[in-house]
Amino acid sequence: MSNDLEHLSKVVESWCMDDEFLRMRSKTDIINLLDLCNLNKKEFFEIFNRLHKIFAANELFEIMQHTKVNFVSNIDNAIEVLDFFVRKLDVKLLSDVSYTIKEGMKARSVLTTDENIKNLKKCSKKTEDFPKIYEILSKAAEEGDELTIKTAVDEKYTEIHSNFTFDHELILQAAFEGNVALVKKLQKFYADIRTRDNSEKTVLHLFCISGNVKGVKFALKFIDVNAKDSSGNTPLHLAAQSNRADVCECLLKISKIDKNIKNSANKTPLREAMLYNCKDAVEVLKKYECTI
């Protein structure tokens, strides 16, 4: 039986639209099968539009708890699924959650929005216009102009790379410059917060270099505190090398940090801080009992 379920979980497209297949199975059968499946959005809707006609709302709710859907990092897909359950289960809490999410996704415009978007659309999506695009979006973030930033993300202006040493996408450049306001707005409208540059640095690594503690705290929601770049440096290594004592302290307060992890040069963060003569960082690292 388990082998049959394993096989069925790999060929969802062969039965997800089969009314008879689903009708012949009990709630337990469906749950056992869905426990093994990872559905795409289309498969989810095909299955649950049929199950809704077969099972009562309380049974459907139980089945839902055994369902995994691959949203492919797309908030619109997630909201579609949420709205399905709002309609089918008629649960006010789900309806309120859906409404709140949608309201939060709306992009706010300001008096300068039209001008900002006009200037943005004068730019080509080429490397040479990266500085102009960055300047426009930095200004938009300062002004609270979310619509310009959303437009830039939707139309992929934010995916071009700089011609600087580290080949940054725009969100990475913002972190490198300590521009937490811009990073937050870009992430809100689904710029890739987990992207890396050509040295495998993340926004967390770059906020550590720039010394922006607020940016570090924000980036930690998305990036592992022990993430390594291509040289094996963790965020703590880079904060130590840059003498960012306050950033070091922020990182060292996180329970799962590996404070004595070694990079590709076989050096711990404390060792790096000592080599770079970063006295403030050394003091903090020793306070937290880091070792060489």
Does position 163 have pLDDT exceeding 80, yes or no?
Answer: no
Q: What is the pLDDT of residue 180?
A: 98
Every domain range in the chain assigned CATH 1.25.40.20: 199-292
Q: Are 222 and 194 in contact (CB under 8 A)?
A: yes
The residue that leads in pLDDT, 167 or 50, is 50
The percent of residues above 90 in pLDDT, for the chain, comes to 79
The residue that leads in pLDDT, 78 or 38, is 38
Q: What is the pLDDT of residues 117-129, one digit of tens each?
A: 999 999 999 999 9
The CATH code that applies to domain 199-292 is 1.25.40.20
Does position 207 have pLDDT exceeding 60, yes or no?
Answer: yes
Q: What is the pLDDT of residue 113?
A: 97
Residue 100, C-beta contacts closer than 8 angstroms, at least 6 positions apart: none
Does position 15 have pLDDT exceeding 90, yes or no?
Answer: yes
Q: Does the predicted TM-score (pTM) go above 0.85?
A: no
Q: Which structure tokens are listed for 8?
A: 């069925």
Q: What is the pLDDT of residue 1?
A: 54
* pLDDT bracket for residue 165 (50, 70, 90): low
Does position 142 have pLDDT exceeding 90, yes or no?
Answer: yes
The percent of residues above 70 in pLDDT, for the chain, comes to 98
Q: What is the pLDDT of residue 2?
A: 63
Instruction: Specify the DSSP class assigned to residue 163.
Output: S
What is the C-alpha separation between 233 and 176, in angstroms, rounded?
Answer: 16
Q: Are 83 and 91 in contact (CB under 8 A)?
A: no
Does position 243 have pLDDT exceeding 90, yes or no?
Answer: yes
